[in-house]
Each structure stands twice: as structure tokens, then as C-alpha cells.
Amino acid sequence: QVQLVESGGGLVQAGGSLRLSCAASGRTFSSYAMGWFRQTPGKEREFVARINWSGGRTYYADSVKGRFTISRDNAKNTVYLQMNSLKPEDTAVYYCAAEVSGGDYDSRRVQAYDYWGQGTQVTVSS
């Protein structure tokens, strides 16, 4: 069983930055691919970013490419999402997720991920 705990959400003005963290339990974190998703009320959870097990490959939704950066520190069992140039439409609950297979491929489906955190709220004011 893997537990994921997100932190770093909050209220920020448009154009500002936030850094989300996701701390994972377990000794096999370094073998997992990790993803960030977000969800707003009444909408489906949507893919934001993904990083493979080593950190050598990253993938982004077109809506955040060039503004968000996903990274990981396997020594700390933590994955990060640096969010810059935030827009009001980035407002959502952000979730981190773990895919046990850790594959070096671009997987954006919610169903591909095995474990989820509880989410952290990000609110961007205009």
C-alpha cells in the first residue's frame, strides 16, 4: 500500500507561482511513475503532468506546458509541481498519483494510476 500526501496549495493572484509537493510512503517510490491531475466541480479529473521513475522523462498537458514543471527527488520520496504564471483557469483541486509500473511512456488516463492522494486546493484570483 502506498500513501500519497499533497501539500503546498493555497490562494495566489494571477501571474503568481506555487509549488506543490507530494510525499509518498514506501520503499519502492523510485520505481513508480508519478502524475499530477486536477479537478474542478462538475468536471472530470484531468491530466496535468507526468514523470517517469527516474525523472528523465516528463509529459505535460498543452494547457500547462511552458508554465508548470514536474520533478522528483527519489531520496526524499517526493514529487513536485512548480506552477508559474498561474491563471484563474488553473483553479482546481490538484491530486498526485502513482503508477506502479513506472513506465517510460505518456499515460494520461486516470485509470492508469494505482494510488492517489487526497488532493490540495489551488485557487488563482484574477
Looking at residue 26, its pLDDT comes to 79
Which residue, among 98, 106, 120, has the nearest Cα to 39 in the 3D structure? 120
Looking at residue 105, its amino acid is Y
Residues 6 or more apart whose CB falls under 8 angstroms from that of 50 comprise 33, 34, 35, 36, 58, 59, 60, 70, 106, 107, 108
28-48 pLDDT per residue, tens: 899 999 999 999 999 999 999
Q: Which pLDDT value is given to residue 11?
A: 98
Collapsing DSSP to helix, strand or coil, 65 comes out as coil
Please give the angle made by the CA atoms of 12, 107 and 36, to the nearest 5 degrees: 20
Q: What is the predicted pLDDT for the residue at 48?
A: 98
Mean pLDDT across the chain: 95
Greater confidence, 12 or 107? 12
Residue 27 predicted with pLDDT over 90: no
Task: Give percent of the chain above pLDDT 90.
Answer: 90
pLDDT of residue 68: 98
